[in-house]
Amino acid sequence: MDVLVDRCAGLDVHRDTVVATVRVPGSGQRQRAQHTRTFATTTAGITTLGDWLAEHRVTRTGMESTGVYWKPVYYLLEDQLEVWLINAEHLHNVPGRKTDVADSAWIAQMIEHGLVRPSFVPPPPIRELRDLTRHRRTLVEERTRVVQRLEKVLQDAGIKLTSVASGLLTKSGRAILEALLAGQNDPDALAELARGRLRAKIPALREALTGRFRTAHHGLLVAQMLAHVDFLDTAIAELDTTLERAAAPFQAMLKRVCTIPGVSVRTAIMLLAECGADMTVSAPPPTSPAGQGSVRATTPPAAAADPGGPGTARLRCAPRSPRPRTPPHGRRTPTSPPTTPTSADAAAYPKPSAPPATTC
C-alpha cells in the first residue's frame, strides 16, 4: 500500500493518559519503524508529547474524537504540527483491522495511507463564539424548565393564572406572584393588580386566583424559582453583551446573513458559530466523471492499491437497472403487438422452401 505521509502519528486519547504511536521510515528501503509511548494529559505531559513528536519530525498526527478529552491535546498541538480530528464512525468503518492492533497504531496507519479524512475544527475565534452561543442556549432552555416547574407549583396550589393570563412572568403575572409571596390571598385584591388588556378579564381572573396557596410551602418554592429566573435573565443579558463584542469582527458577514428572510442578528451569530466563516472547508467532494460509476469501493482508492493491506478495499458492482419483462409466447398484452404475422412480415421474412422430393 502506498505511503502518503512519511512521518505520522496516531493518538489514543483518554481522560488521564494519551497513547502515541509514531510511524517513520525504517532501516530498509520499504520498511517502516514504529514507536509507542504513553503521556499524561496534563499541560506538562502534552508539552512532552509535542517535544517527542518533534524529535521524530512528525508532520501529521491524528486522534479520535472521544468526548471532550481530545480538546486540550488538540489545542496544545495545533500550533506545532498538523493535527487531524477523526470521526470515530469513519475510523471504525475502514475494513482490515486486526484485533491485536492498538488504537493509536491503527490511527497512525490510517493517516499514513490516507484512508481517513479530518473533521472540521473551527479556528479559535469561532470556537469561543460557539462556546458562548451554546452556553446561552443552555441557559435559555434552563429558564424554560424553571418556568414550567413554576407553573406546576401554582397548579398544585389551585392558582389557574395561566388559564386567563398569557404568561406567568408578564408584568401582571409577576405583580400577582409577588403579592402571593407577601401573604395576600384575597382574590379581589390580587385581581386588581392586573394591567393593560388583562383588566378586561378581572371577573375570570378573580375566579382563577381563588386557591389554597400556602406561603410556608408554595411560597418557598415560588420564591426560589423566581430568584432562579432572575439570575438566568441576568446571565443571558451578560452573554448577549459578550456575544456582540465577540461577533464584531464578522459584522460584514452577519449583515449578509441577515438578508435571508426570517434570520435575525441572534440567529446569524448562531449560524456563524456553528458553520464558521470559511465555507470552503465544507465544499462537496468532486464528482466522478461520467462512465466511471459502475464500480464503487468501500475505502478510498489508496486502499485498493494493495489487496493484502490493512485497508483492503471491497469492490461491489452497482445494482443494474431491472430489465423489462417479456410476456410468455402467444399471450397478448395491451402493449404487445399481435403474434399473428401480417402480410408485410410474410413478405419481409419468407418461410424457407421445403427440400426437393427424392425419387427412388
Cell numbers at residue 156, please?
398544585
| Mean pLDDT of the residues in the chain | 82
DSSP 3-state assignment of 257?
A: helix
Beta strand 295-297 with 315-317: parallel, antiparallel or unpaired?
A: antiparallel
DSSP string, 83-126: EEEE-HHHHHHSS---TTS-HHHHHHHHHHHT---PPP---HHH
Mean pLDDT of the 67-75 span: 92
Least confident of 6-10, 39-43, 310-314: 310-314
Confidence band for 144, pLDDT divided at 50, 70 and 90: very high
pLDDT over 70 percentage in the chain = 77
Confidence band for 161, pLDDT divided at 50, 70 and 90: very high
Confidence band for 283, pLDDT divided at 50, 70 and 90: low
Is the pLDDT at 278 greater than 90? The verdict is no
DSSP 3-state assignment of 21?
A: strand
| pLDDT recorded at residue 312 | 42
pLDDT in tens, 77-86: 999 999 999 9
Is the pLDDT at 148 greater than 60? The verdict is yes
Is the pLDDT at 308 greater than 50? The verdict is no
Is the pLDDT at 158 greater than 80? The verdict is yes
| pLDDT recorded at residue 182 | 94
pLDDT in tens, 111-141: 999 888 888 898 999 999 999 999 999 999 9
123 CB-near residues (< 8 Å, 6+ apart) = 276
